Amino acid sequence: MRNTLEWLAREVAGRIDRECAFSERATEIGMGADGTPTCRIDKVAEDLILQLMDERKVPLNVLSEEAGLIDRGYDRTLVLDPVDGTYNSLMGIPLYSVSMAVCTRSMNDATHGIVRNLVTGDTFYAEKGKGATWNDRPIHVRRCERDGSVLFVYLGKYSAATANGVLRKARRTRSLGCSSLEMCLVAAGLADGFYLHSEVYQRALRVVDIAASALVLREAGGEVYDLAGNVLDMDLDLKVRANCLAVGDRAVLGWVL
């Protein structure tokens, strides 16, 4: 399965610019199965992956933000976000990814996950029980020291007022606009947590956004919680949304929440 996921991620990264000119990326071409507008870059990336899966007869169903659930008759499902950080891609900010996880019933039974930066090629991979890697090098979360703490915090029009309080708790904060890569950077020990609280339910996270990065983080020694402090799980359903706190050191949970 690792070879298949790496091949899919590599192929979409190599072909997306040829298939979708920068000037065409932002064109809205319809409404996705998740109820949000579909930009051309999202549809092109998704179509590429679906085409490749058909060509190789990859034995997985697909759950993707644009197409929804595609039941191909298998027990397991590829939970796919073809472009996470779409707005970054539209602006030319080189921080957006393809995110893929193999699940059966929910996010927490994921067995394999990959997140690849579609610009730099940086690739995070995890397999349940076998650890996590960044460009094939093992990664681990770090112990949080408050004096040097770094948090990624979702900011913007839909962020809840609680985000302002979180901003003041860390020594430094950043908001990068790509939840999958932000969580992977926590897994790699570059930051202590990722906090997202949207006051609008429809703008909170979907399972396609974080299924792969949650596995990467957990295999690196971290955990993902809902904002009540419970370990987060999400059904394979695009209608389900969640806010979260992803941490490397579990001490961050009590400190932030």
Question: What pLDDT was estimated at residue 180?
Answer: 98
Polymer length in residues for the chain: 257
Any bridge partners for residue 107, and if so which? none
3-state per-residue secondary structure call for 138-159: ECCCCCCCHHHCEEEECCCCCE
Q: Token digits for 26?
A: 């932002």
- Residue 138 vs residues 131, 142, 189, 219: alpha-carbon distances, Å: 7, 13, 11, 10
Look up the pTM and report it: 0.96
Output the average pLDDT for the chain.
94
31 Rama class: left (phi>0) / alpha (psi -120 to 50) / beta: beta
User: Does CATH number 3.90.800.10 belong to domain 2-138?
Assistant: no
In angstroms, the CA 24 to CA 245 distance is: 34
Q: How do residues 144-200 score in pLDDT, each as one tens digit?
A: 999 999 999 999 899 999 999 999 999 999 999 999 999 999 999 999 999 999 999
Question: What pLDDT was estimated at residue 22?
Answer: 77
> Quick check: 141 and 176 in contact, CB under 8 A?
no
Q: Per-residue pLDDT averaged across 136-146, rounded?
A: 97
Query: By three-state DSSP, how is residue 113 classified?
Result: strand
pLDDT tier at 30, thresholds 50, 70, 90: confident
User: Does CATH number 3.40.190.80 belong to domain 146-256?
Assistant: yes
The domain spans of the chain are 2-138, 146-256
Inter-axis angle of helices 40-56 and 2-19, nearest 10 = 140
pLDDT tier at 26, thresholds 50, 70, 90: confident
pLDDT exceeds 80 at position 23: no
Any bridge partners for residue 224, and if so which? 246
pLDDT exceeds 90 at position 52: yes
Question: What pLDDT was estimated at residue 206?
Answer: 96
- Residue 232 vs residues 15, 52, 107: alpha-carbon distances, Å: 34, 31, 9
Question: What pLDDT was estimated at residue 217?
Answer: 98
